[in-house]
Amino acid sequence: MTAGDPAPSPAVASPSSLPLLAASGVEATGCAQAVFTTRAGGVSAGAFASLNLSYGVGDAPDAVRENRRRVARAWRAKPERLVEAAQVHGRAVACVGRDAAGTVVPDVDALVTETPDVWLAVYAADCVPLLVVDPERPAVGALHAGWRGAAAGIVPALLEVMGARFGTRPHSLRAALGPAIGPCCYEVDDPVARAMEREGWWQDVATATRPGRWQFDLPGAIRRQLLGAGVPSTAIEMAGGCTACDRERFFSYRRDRVTGRLAGCIRLRQ
């Protein structure tokens, strides 16, 4: 977190006592519900204990299915209305509606919708899950961003699609960044630096530590992309903390390699 950022959102108790992190600024608009999960409250075992929500990491499918059912119940959502992004570390964005319910949209890292009948989810274990709402339309979006997505401009791509499809204006957005790896734990090398050094914000989010190595503030980079697109600083909240530091609450791929995934979930209110 950088100076002047809003304080992290507190954990909130869901109706079923599943610990969730509220995206309070997004929800304060009154037209969307938005939460981030932690690793607590599920049935997965071992490296995936306990609320792993990804089928693609080696966990038992039955455990993942039960974990997703618990999140849906806690959030009062219907599991069959979930829409997921395949998450390929690119900048593609898909606009989805009722016909996408229950599917994984291939080849995209971001989803947007103006349909209250579906809910969007992205998964992460160090990458940034970002949830946004345009209360004027209304419409919502969710994206997953690692360093490749940041370098590719996934945030501007999301806002461009929302502008083209819904007439979204960046200054009207509210955004929440979920738990992600912090600069304290994220060292990157020359390929990452070369991919991003042309960006005006690179010097603000990277600190050289030794030849060819930098400590990189990935959430800071996503925040600066939002600011650069015209989203007000007061409309951006940071929910959670460093996934690599907080073993009790969060999964972290960089820390553990074999691990589960958290989720960022958003939907429009009826």
Which residues make Cβ contacts (< 8 Å) with residue 4, sequence separation at least 6? Answer: 233
> Are the beta carbons of 36 and 178 closer than 8 angstroms?
yes
pLDDT recorded at residue 233: 98
pLDDT at 13: 38
User: Quick check: is 2 in a domain?
Assistant: no
- Check residue 26 and give its pLDDT: 98
In a domain, 185, yes or no: yes
CATH of the domain at 184: 3.60.140.10
Segment 200-210 mean pLDDT? 94
- The pLDDT tens digits of the residues spanning 11-54 come to 443 445 799 999 999 999 999 999 999 999 999 999 999 999 99
Task: Count the neighbouring beta carbons within 10 Å of the beta carbon of residue 159.
Answer: 26
What local confidence, expressed as pLDDT, does residue 9 receive? 46
Task: Provide CB contacts within 8 A for 169, sequence distance 6+.
Answer: 134, 136, 163, 230
Residue 5 domain-assigned (yes or no): no
Q: Give, for 154, the enclosing helix (H) or strand (E).
A: helix 154-166
CB burial readout 55-67, b (16+ within 10 A) else e: bebebeeebbeeb
pLDDT for the residue numbered 4: 43
Band (174; pLDDT cuts 50, 70, 90): very high
Give CA–CA dist 120/20, Å, rounded.
16
Residue 3 lies in a domain: no
Confidence of residue 10 (pLDDT cuts 50, 70, 90): very low
Number of domains in the chain: 1
pLDDT band for position 121 (cuts 50, 70, 90): very high
Q: Is residue 260 part of a domain?
A: yes
In a domain, 147, yes or no: yes
240 band by pLDDT with thresholds 50, 70 and 90: confident
Query: Residue written as tokens 């360093």?
Result: 147
Let me know if residue 62 belongs to a domain. yes
Higher pLDDT, 8 or 91: 91
Q: What is the pLDDT of residue 270?
A: 84
**68 Cβ contact partners less than 8 Å away, ≥ 6 residues apart:** 53, 79, 82
Q: What is the mean pLDDT of residues 122-144?
A: 98
Cα separation, 123 vs 117, in Å, equals 20
Q: Is the pLDDT of residue 3 over 60?
A: no
The model's pTM is: 0.93
Higher pLDDT, 12 or 138: 138
Task: Answer whether residue 72 shows pLDDT above 70.
Answer: yes
Alpha carbons 253 and 241: distance in angstroms, whole number: 15
Q: Count CB neighbours of 86 within 10 A.
A: 16
* Domain encompassing residue 129: 11-268
Q: Which tokens go with 237?
A: 């909240």
Cα 164 to Cα 36: distance, rounded to the nearest angstrom: 27
Q: What is the mean pLDDT of the chain?
A: 93
The pLDDT of residue 7 is above 70:
no
Q: Under 8 Å CB-to-CB from 105, ≥6 apart: which residues?
A: 83, 84, 85, 86, 94, 96, 111
**36 inside domain:** yes
